[in-house]
Amino acid sequence: MKQRVSALLREKLGREVVLEKPRDRSFGHFATPIAFSLAKELRKSPMLIAEDLASSFKDSSEFSSVESVKGYLNFRLSEDFLAEYATWALENPTAFAKQKKNQKILLEFVSANPTGPLHIGHARGAVYGDTLYRLAKHLGYDITAEYYVNDAGNQIDLLGLSIQLYARENILSEIDVEYPESYYRGEYLKDLANGAKEHFGIEILSDVSRQKELAMWAKDKVMEIVVDSLANTNIHFDTFVNESGLYSDWDRVMKKMGDNVYEKENKLWIKSKSKGDDHDRVVVRDDGRPTYLAGDIVYHNQKFERGYDHYINIWGADHHGYIPRVNAAIDFLGYDSSKLEVLLAQMVSLLKDGEPYKMSKRAGNVILMSDIVDEIGSDALRFIFASKKSDTALEFDLAEFKKQDSSNPIFYIQYAHARIQTLLSKATVSREDIENANLKNLGENADTLLFDALLLPEIVEDAFSSRQVQKLPEYLKSLAASLHKFYYDVRMIGTEDEAKLLKLLLVVALSIKTGLSLMGIEAKDRMLKEEE
RNA sequence: GCGCUCGUAGCUCAGCUGGAUAGAGCACUGGUUUGCGGUACCAGUGGUCACACGUUCGAAUCGUGUCGGGCGCACCA
């Protein structure tokens, strides 16, 4: 709709026009302050310009009125235009708000180390990434969701060690097991230790020389746990790339970097400082082991060789200092680093009884994503995280998070959808009558609701292109509110307008359902009643 | 110290490519059924948009500075 209106304006004025939502709906559907910016050039008062423009739209069929108010230009779409659009949407529900973009995007997110289950901090990036993915898919982008598995390096050795330590104390009942500070703890080690015992035999639990073997087996098991808990939240990946599989390409990639790599102190460095990084960075240590960055260089080379138009990485905010060196490496490889967009998901900090609650994988007191999902459900979790702007640090109380009442708007939205289904089931007219009804002369309230429901395509486009996923839940909340209000203001069943009013509700339901599905949430047809 | 980022109602957060009286939910107060699930609706209380200066016809929004919070400043991932 908005596109249509801007196109008309562009034609008329020969320039791009900023369209905005009027503060008050009585002003119309769209508004523009264009007259203010024209005032200077034309040396006329904004009021006069707006008047002139308004009268020039008198004959257009898209608008029922175009008015100038205090220099603003307010547009009201015609009933014909809205009715036609709504009818089209109902006839093509799967095409509603869809587009066909011509761009191949690689989206990498979560990419948590396979050393333990996902905790609540990972959930934020996971929800954010998956929502972006769904939006992009709907908008017709050719997008791939990828998980980078860091299955090489110290943390994997540590996993093997941690399993053995757990087993020695709890399965082999050794006393005086000494724990280094950096080992992992947590319930999941128990399952891994028992699983290893079954798979390899009990000896592997105490044989230090087999730590590596144990770790390589365990990290795959951990990945199964991770994938499983993501799936429980409706998050799926198209591809997984293992760090350990990338190093066979090492020599070729280094050659590609040319003289941007040099040797010093028996280590290998890249000249990232010349690209704005604080220092040059080590990629291979003097004992020959590659650093974390080494893996990322090979990985990003592989990404760019696969030939996408655009790359998005979602990282935790604590990795932001890492961006310059990765960009430097991409440039050195001969690719355009501006094609890589890094989105940072800010930290999630927890409060428990009003006190900051420190999670640490190594202390074993992490709040697992799967625990929260068990407790409040995937829908509520997704809604909460998708509602927050990703670049704001988030703080919440654990108790608050567990509440399942109206303080969580997902229930409010679901209720709106369920309410519509109830009304439809009580209809005294046939489904066919409803679908064929003419959406005209609905009255002001209904007209407003219809317009709100048809706004979804703009929201989806905006939410994705600005990477501001929270715009979708915001919209759904306000649409649900409009619906609830409408329900109280207007009686539908049994009235002579029943068919067209229910058709209007079908449009609202379509928007809610489509919007929720873009957040990985399924719209409910009925709410479970409390008590029996 | 340097870099990134945030600072909007008691709380959790929207609004930020400058534009019409600063929004929502929660909390608090008071109301709403002869009407389709009251898990809802309506109304009210509550704001120097951290502070200062600047740009502008116009600033929560842009710029500079100050203060405050978070994160980073590894050959850890």
The reported pLDDT for the residue numbered A281 is 95
The reported pLDDT for the residue numbered A530 is 47
Q: Does A417 reside within a domain?
A: yes
Within 7 Å of a protein beta carbon, the nucleotides of strand B are 3-7, 12-21, 23-27, 35-37, 39-42, 57-58, 69-77
**How confident is the prediction for chain A on average, in pLDDT?**
87
Average pLDDT, integer, range A450-461: 90
Q: What is the extent of the structural domain holding A160? A: 154-231
Query: Using one digit for the tens of pLDDT, what is the confidence trace for A473-495?
Result: 999 999 999 999 999 988 999 88
A131 touches strand B (CB under 7 A): no
The reported pLDDT for the residue numbered A111 is 94
Closest residue, CA to C1' of B7:
A392
Average pLDDT, integer, range A407-434: 90
Q: Does A120 reside within a domain?
A: no
Domain boundary among A51, A77, A103: A77
Q: Does A358 reside within a domain?
A: no
Domain boundary among A212, A231, A250: A231
What's the Å distance between residue A355 CA and nucleotide B68 C1'?
20
Cα separation, A346 vs A329, in Å, equals 25
Band the pLDDT of A47: cuts 50, 70, 90. confident
ipTM of the complex: 0.92
Average pLDDT, integer, range A263-282: 92
**CATH number (domain holding residue A419):** 1.10.730.10
Same-domain status, A61 and A158: no
Query: Using one digit for the tens of pLDDT, what is the confidence trace for A10-41?
Result: 777 666 677 777 767 777 888 888 888 777 77
The reported pLDDT for the residue numbered A107 is 96
The reported pLDDT for the residue numbered A264 is 92
**CATH number (domain holding residue A36):** 3.30.1360.70
Residue A464 has pLDDT above 80, yes or no: yes
The reported pLDDT for the residue numbered A149 is 95
Q: Which of A108-117, A158-167, A348-357 has the lowest mean pLDDT?
A: A348-357
The reported pLDDT for the residue numbered A159 is 94
Per the model's pLDDT, the better-predicted residue between A51 and A199 turns out to be A199
Q: Does A140 reside within a domain?
A: no
Q: Does A285 reside within a domain?
A: no
Residue A408 has pLDDT above 60, yes or no: yes
Measured CA to C1', the nucleotide nearest A267 is B75
Same-domain status, A513 and A414: yes
A423 touches strand B (CB under 7 A): yes
Average pLDDT, integer, range A65-73: 82
What's the Å distance between residue A397 CA and nucleotide B13 C1'?
14
Measured CA to C1', the nucleotide nearest A322 is B72
What are the strands of the beta sheet with A72-77, ordered from one edge?
A30-32, A72-77, A63-69
Cα separation, A66 vs A47, in Å, equals 14
Residue A55 has pLDDT above 60, yes or no: yes
Cα separation, A109 vs A89, in Å, equals 33
Cα separation, A141 vs A342, in Å, equals 18
A25 touches strand B (CB under 7 A): no
Q: Does A23 reside within a domain?
A: yes
Closest residue, CA to C1' of B70:
A393
Per the model's pLDDT, the better-predicted residue between A376 and A215 turns out to be A215
Strand partners of residue A242? A149
User: Which 303-342 positions of A have CB less than 7 A from strand B?
Assistant: 317-322
The reported pLDDT for the residue numbered A355 is 63
The reported pLDDT for the residue numbered A5 is 74
Which residues have a Cβ under 8 Å from the Cβ of A508 and sit 6 or more positions away? Answer: A416, A420, A449, A452, A453, A479, A482, A483
Q: Is A309 helix (H, G, I), strand (E, B) or coil?
A: coil
A346 touches strand B (CB under 7 A): yes
The reported pLDDT for the residue numbered A57 is 80
Measured CA to C1', the nucleotide nearest A279 is B73
Same-domain status, A69 and A159: no
Place of tokens 């087999």: A210
Residues constituting chain A: 532
Domain boundary among A188, A207, A231: A231
Cα separation, A526 vs A518, in Å, equals 20
Same-domain status, A499 and A413: yes
Band the pLDDT of A532: cuts 50, 70, 90. very low
Measured CA to C1', the nucleotide nearest A473 is B14
User: Which 193-252 positions of A have CB less than 7 A from strand B?
Assistant: none
H helix or E strand, kind and range, residue A106? strand A104-108
What's the Å distance between residue A386 CA and nucleotide B69 C1'?
23
User: Which 362-421 positions of A have CB less than 7 A from strand B?
Assistant: 387-389, 391-396, 406-407, 409, 411-412, 415, 418-419
The reported pLDDT for the residue numbered A30 is 84
Measured CA to C1', the nucleotide nearest A477 is B24
Q: Does A422 reside within a domain?
A: yes
Q: Does A31 reside within a domain?
A: yes
A157 touches strand B (CB under 7 A): no
Average pLDDT, integer, range A61-72: 82
Per the model's pLDDT, the better-predicted residue between A192 and A372 turns out to be A192
A24 touches strand B (CB under 7 A): yes
Q: In the structure, how many helices (H) and strands (E) does chain A have? A: 20, 14
Q: How many domains does one find in chain A?
A: 3
Same-domain status, A60 and A164: no
Which residues have a Cβ under 8 Å from the Cβ of A43 and sit 6 or more positions away? Answer: none
- Percent of chain A scoring above 70 in pLDDT: 92
Compute, in degrees rounded to 10, the torsion defined by CA atoms A90, A91, A97, A103: 170
The reported pLDDT for the residue numbered A400 is 64
Strand partners of residue A314? A343
Residue A518 has pLDDT above 90, yes or no: yes
Measured CA to C1', the nucleotide nearest A411 is B39
Place of tokens 């209904």: A446
Token pair recorded at residue A469:
């996923």
A29 contacts A57 by C-beta, under 8 angstroms: no
